[in-house]
Structure 1
Amino acid sequence: VVSLTLLTASGEILECSETTNPELYQAACVHLGCLGILLTITFQCVPEFYLQETTFPSTLKEVLDNLESHLQKSEYFRFLWFPHSENVSVIYQDHTNKPPCSSANWFWDYAIGYYLLEFLLWISTFLPCLVGWLNRFFFWLLFTGKVENVNLSYKIFNYECRFKQHVQDWAIPIEKTKEALLELKEVLESNPKIVAHYPVEVRFTRGDNILLSPCFQRDSCYMNIIMYRPYGKDVPRLDYWLAYEGIMKKVGGRPHWAKAHTCVRRDFEQMYPSFPKFCAIREKLDPRGMFLNTYLEKVFY
């Protein structure tokens, strides 16, 4: 985002960028709708490009022991950990001049990876002890081979999220990745009644200077946990959620603003060095709370 135009609660129209109203720009790039209404956004774009995605199996120990090497080998590196196992699917995504190619297969991607998975997850709501087996079985079935795809960047970056789900996603300091994942693994191993669907998605991003960005002033690892809702049926997740949140807070995590969390203002004051600065900007632009809702009141009050 290069610049923004904002309509404030008083009806004033403000422009901001790195050179015009830079403090407002730092706040408005992630403002949760509480500073005003965005009238215009100017994006800096790049020419259309292709990516090659390479997916291959590994283990949690190998990936965590060689994390820096993986980060250096690929422009866009992430991995999927399958809880209740050591199994990991590593994903590299890199610029390429190769012609498009696809490994898409309706039978494996949908008949097995969607419809059969959802049915078995539904069965597991009656027999939770099956979840660990399902994670290992579907890794063996769908993720043990090396797979390559080439396509336009947006077709590679976007991926199938399957069916309805509950998620939590926190950004932690990148150097805490190994510690956090091993502690989460230990929690699951020492508490057999807590079950976790696959995958735990782990991805990485550079730091920035946006006041309420989860990556404010630090390179970060996003660690996303998931519990599916097969056929819309909720599954018990509170113990898993609270254990995960506890680990994330302990290692200095910050929750994804668009996903589930239990944090309130006192938490954000500890997580974000510039939280008071953002609050001062918000109170100046919207002193009567026109743009607040129940969720934002929990965040700011």
Structure 2
Amino acid sequence: MVTPPPPWAAVPIPNHYFRGEMSPNTPPEPPLAQLEAITSCTICSPLLCVSVLTQVHGQGGFKFQNWAKTYGSSPELYFQPTSVEEIREILDMARQRNKRVKVVGGGHSPSDIACTDDFMIQMGKMNKVLKVDKEKQQVTVEGGIFLSDLNVELSKHGLALANLGAVSEVAAAGVIGTGTHNTGIKHGILPTQVVGLSLLTASGDILECSESINADIFQAARLHLGCLGVVLTVTFQCVPQFHLHEVTFPSTLTEVLNHLDDHLKRSQYFRFLWFPHSENVTVIYQDPTNKPPSSSANWFWDYAVGYYLLEFLLWISTFVPSLVCWINRFFFWLLFSSRVENINVSYKIFNYECRFKQHVQDWAIPIEKTKEALLELKAALENNPKMVAHYPVEVRFARADEIWLSPCFQRDSCYMNIIMYRPYGKNVPRLNYWLTYEGIMKKYGGRPHWAKAHSCTRKDFEKMYPAFPKFCSVRDKLDPTGMFLNTYLEKVFY
């Protein structure tokens, strides 16, 4: 019996990639298409060495959709493997039938990076913690484990990841594959915490990778875009478990930009939220503490006002766009104009609930260009009253690294995330805002977040990434036929 798909994916969707509104037509319950293949195979790896018979089942008629309901596809066959042997069989089938393969995790990427009309592999059943090395403070996990589950398991061993993104309902293999980040100039993007991984290639080989084993492949695979193979395991470098003290307080854009270096030095995990069409800013400091947990959470303000009322007003603004300026200022005054403090275990502070479906863009620019770029975006909005922007513009920071396709490759970076919400699922005009923002980011040497929608092509990436040819060379070697490509990746590599 085939396990039903996860609830976030069971949504009607056209049989092709789409952007914008969902099709209102709900198709009849699709028939179950099942492929079975039985074969004897031997897997040779320090981690896995078995010889077994495998049986693989693929579900037809499945509709994939990302969390924000902005992108989706209808894979010919959808798989939820439980072992490496089953994944190998799926790749064998794909090779024999000349099909492409995409691996998905939590489906949170706000782009079509995970979409395919061929074979889709959902890794949710390969979600075990394989090894915890307390002496080295390292953990090895299967690629399908969600960080939300890993966080809980690590806490049982007195460990934690040093940094996390806003969402933890994401798979370990996926979170490194797209270069997920948080903030903190002393901290890199999440893939910098990876010290080892294993990869099943298109040919069926299993490669163990680290800085000392298959080093070139390791540098590529730490941010792999899902195009090098199937990530089977990931080993993370951890730190002792810690609490964070979060302090949020109001400020102005002028103050923050004029004293940016001071803020970066003052807090280990510093970020700020700018409210477009105003000078209003919320500063957020997060720093380790020995104090016990405490919370200022309030359902009325967090949900009744911060979600339900806001969504209703944003929906009204789709008919009267000029209201957006007022909404941004009103909600800053209502929810962000006073000092607030919270203390909790680190991952509960790093993570926050993304309540709204949304369109987002997120580019990394050299940190020294932060002030110029943000002021230019502010001026562009002021000079074009018909172009409106939802709050916030979230500004975060990350340390330079040597990962080939990292937006922070060889430079300390500022990530500038813009957002347009979809109240009650309704799309809002954003094209002018999007193009203006992209133009400014490119002007200041920006590199787009790999998980998020952008208009860049191979020509752009060749200019942005000095190591782009190295990555392409590794990809050509590991996947010469393009088994792991899709429409999104074709724009990147062709």
TM interval, short-chain normalised: over 0.9
Residue pairs, 1:132-151, within 5 angstroms:
132-151=325-344
More moved, 45-54 vs 55-64: 45-54
Partner of 1:173: 366
CA distance in 2, matches of 1:292, 1:143: 43
CA distance in 2, matches of 1:61, 1:8: 50
CA distance in 2, matches of 1:57, 1:288: 53
Q: Aligned match of 1:46 in 239, 243, 249?
A: 239
Structure with more of its chain in helix, by fraction: 1
CA distance in 1, matches of 2:466, 2:376: 26
CA distance in 2, matches of 1:52, 1:143: 17
| Deviation per residue, 1:242-278 (Å, 9 max, x gap) | 0000000010000011111111111101110110111
CA distance in 2, matches of 1:23, 1:181: 36
CA distance in 1, matches of 2:221, 2:279: 41
| Deviation per residue, 1:9-39 (Å, 9 max, x gap) | 1112111111111111110000111111111
Partner of 1:156: 349
| Deviation per residue, 1:168-200 (Å, 9 max, x gap) | 000111001001000000000000000000000
Partner of 1:219: 412
Residue pairs, 1:57-96, within 5 angstroms:
57-96=250-289
More moved, 37-46 vs 23-32: 37-46
User: Secondary structure at 1:43's aligned position in 2?
Assistant: strand
User: Secondary structure at 2:368's aligned position in 1?
Assistant: helix
User: Secondary structure at 1:89's aligned position in 2?
Assistant: strand
Deviation at 1:40, TM superposition (A): 1.4
CA distance in 1, matches of 2:384, 2:431: 13
Work out whether 1:247 is the aligned partner of 2:436.
no
Q: Aligned match of 1:127 in 305, 317, 320?
A: 320
Contiguous gaps of at least 5 residues in structure 2: 1-193
CA distance in 2, matches of 1:160, 1:144: 20
CA distance in 2, matches of 1:188, 1:155: 34
Partner of 1:262: 455
User: Secondary structure at 2:250's aligned position in 1?
Assistant: strand
CA distance in 2, matches of 1:158, 1:141: 23
Work out whether 1:115 is the aligned partner of 2:308.
yes
Deviation at 1:157, TM superposition (A): 0.5
Partner of 2:423: 230
CA distance in 1, matches of 2:477, 2:207: 13
Question: Which residue type is aligned with residue 37 of structure 1?
Answer: V
Contiguous gaps of at least 5 residues in structure 1: none
CA distance in 1, matches of 2:357, 2:278: 24
Give the alignment's Cα RMSD to 1 decimal: 0.7
| Deviation per residue, 1:45-100 (Å, 9 max, x gap) | 12211000000000000000000000000000000000000000000000001111
Deviation at 1:43, TM superposition (A): 1.1
CA distance in 1, matches of 2:330, 2:310: 10
Partner of 2:204: 11
Work out whether 1:284 is the aligned partner of 2:466.
no
Question: Which residue type is aligned with residue 187 of structure 1?
Answer: A
Partner of 1:34: 227
Question: Which residue type is aligned with residue 62 of structure 1?
Answer: E
Work out whether 1:273 is the aligned partner of 2:473.
no
User: Secondary structure at 2:247's aligned position in 1?
Assistant: strand
Question: Which residue type is aligned with residue 142 of structure 1?
Answer: L
CA distance in 1, matches of 2:343, 2:320: 39
* Bigger Rg, structure 1 or 2: 2
CA distance in 1, matches of 2:274, 2:379: 14
Question: Which residue type is aligned with residue 214 of structure 1?
Answer: P
User: Secondary structure at 2:224's aligned position in 1?
Assistant: coil
CA distance in 1, matches of 2:297, 2:336: 13
Work out whether 1:203 is the aligned partner of 2:396.
yes
Deviation at 1:285, TM superposition (A): 1.1
Q: Percent identity?
A: 80
Work out whether 1:99 is the aligned partner of 2:292.
yes
Question: Which residue type is aligned with residue 257 of structure 2?
Answer: L
More moved, 188-197 vs 19-28: 19-28
CA distance in 1, matches of 2:355, 2:255: 28
CA distance in 1, matches of 2:470, 2:488: 20
CA distance in 1, matches of 2:199, 2:302: 43
| Deviation per residue, 1:188-225 (Å, 9 max, x gap) | 00000000000000000101111011111111111000
**Superposition misfits of 4+ residues, deviation over 2 angstroms:** none
Deviation at 1:162, TM superposition (A): 2.1
CA distance in 1, matches of 2:273, 2:354: 13
CA distance in 2, matches of 1:179, 1:260: 23
Deviation at 1:160, TM superposition (A): 2.2
Paired residue total: 301
Partner of 1:23: 216
Deviation at 1:229, TM superposition (A): 0.4
